[in-house]
Amino acid sequence: MVELKKFDERMLNFDLEKMADYLTLERDYNFEYMGLEILSSRYLIEDVDTKLPLETPQMFWMRIAMGTALVEDKGKLDTIAKDFYDILSEFYYTPGGRTLFQSGTIKAQLSNCFLNVVPDDLREIFRMYSDNAQLLKWSGGVGTSWSKVRGTGAQVKSVDITSQGVVPYLKIANDINVCVMRSGKRRAASVVYLETWHVDIEDFLELRKNTGDERRRTHDLNTANWIPDLFMERVKADADWTLFSPDETSDLPDIYGKAFNTRYEEYEKMAKEGKIKLFKVIKAKDLWKKMIGMLFETGHPWICFKDPSNIRSPQDHMGVIHSSNLCTEIMLNTSDHETAVCNLGSINIAKFVTKNKTIDKDLLQKVIRSSVRMIDNTVDINYYPTEDSKASNMKHRPIGLGIRGYHDALYGMGILFDTNEAVEFADESMEMMSYYTILSSSELAKEKGKYASYEGSKWSRGILPEDTIALLEKERGTTIDIPKGGKLDWTPVRNHIKQYGMRNSNTMAIAPTASTANLV
């Protein structure tokens, strides 16, 4: 495969005889029919001419194991790759689709998600088209915020004309999706975000409608609302809501919480005084009804909340989160020249249910430790299609470990889905996931060093994700009625972070498992 220019030359650094002997062919029988069908049609590396697979299922798992161990010390290479192979081939853990596609290959783009924000500048808008085309080509899913781009009717002073707003630009973004194939296996996919105060929000809501002017429709582009808390408060109070163009309210995309509320109300006052040219006052409840109606009719735009995403972010010292990603499972900072990146994978929680109907904590911790190591390695191994994405990922090293097989776990535990017992199991199992994942990242920091932007983060200030509910309560001035605390002793985790820091800025995600769950 190296001779065929399909594999990275570093794959020859392993003891190939030992790795071949370690293949356990009986694990082919772990697959069900659908899993093998998905494996052969989507993930196995093929001969370009014959379209026949060049690897078997166990070779496939070993390729991923070796391909994600490439950056380990030479003395540990074989041992770590074997450990990775075991958790993969026994279906304890599965990486995201990008890693399955390209691990071990020459230009291994292993990242699942890319997030960016478009500045209000024509050159930058078209640079973003180019960047996103590259990200999509190399199999990434892209989430882009367009909230900074001026709205319809806004003045373009350099040429003394009025802007046509964001919709024509989104039409171009839609067509880029149509013409790019991800990994040659499926069409590109991306999502665009717009904040609820943007003057083009009403047109944005209709982008996926099957009626109307086709030049203002984006049937191949996902859309999502980026909603500040203040809007929901206005909906509850049946109050007015004012739409603005970001060329006159340029700081709104970059602030959140109380700061956003104060500034937004200042702009409303300025609009009443005639100091803002382009604005529109509507009923918040009417806009909310239209948002819900479009969601029911077209499945879009999705609903996503700006303030808790930022207030609870571990990286609040490094800037602002302007959107989520294609599958809305992560929240990462972006800026005009910083494209956020995330690598994902998921634990098959059903595999840890014992005959005694408990979760095997020791096995879970062992597998999570290996999984976190594997995802973290991809940050260094990865081929980055753009410089903005490489700089961001090397600086923050976010990863997203999620779960799958949850309903199967309930079945194995003998727990009905709609019971208090199921709620208790959810609480306990997710606390274990959080505990071991965060601890594993801190253990990696002890071995390999902290991520570059660690100082100043919530981690460095002793604030863990579970603590951020209190921050949200304080910012909103309300009580959030959910149980606080857990059943595990978090003191060792807190002490370990205090001493050694964290390897990754973010550690967990709601991993999308549409095809990979069926695979295993």
Residues 217-239 as b/e (b if ≥16 CB within 10 A, e otherwise) read bbebbbbbbbbbbbbeebbeeee
SS3 510: coil
Residue 490 · residue 435 · CB < 8 Å: yes
Q: Is 176 left (phi over 0), alpha (psi -120 to 50) or beta?
A: alpha
Of 195, 268, 329, 443, catalytic: 329
> What is the DSSP code (8-state) at residue 41?
I
Contacts (Cβ under 8 Å, ≥6 apart) of 175: 220
Residue 398 · residue 340 · CB < 8 Å: yes
Residue type at 151? G
Place of tokens 């191949």: 220
Residue type at 36? L
Q: How far apart are CA 217 and CA 170, in angstroms?
A: 9
SS3 52: coil
Whether 325 is a known active-site residue: answer yes
Closest to 1 measured CA to CA, from 61, 45, 66: 45
DSSP 397-459: --EEEEEE-HHHHHHHHT--TTSHHHHHHHHHHHHHHHHHHHHHHHHHHHHH---TT-TTSTT
Please write down the long-range contacts of 79-84, taking CB distance under 8 Å and 24 or more positions apart: 80/373, 81/14, 81/19, 82/19, 82/22, 83/370, 84/370, 84/374
Of 174, 310, 325, 504, catalytic: 325
Would you state the structure tokens that stand for residue 304, as one six-digit string? 């996503």
Of 72, 195, 225, 327, catalytic: 327
Whether 329 is a known active-site residue: answer yes
Contacts (Cβ under 8 Å, ≥6 apart) of 279: 199, 242, 243, 244, 245, 271
Whether 466 is a known active-site residue: answer no
Catalytically active residues, by annotation: 325, 327, 329
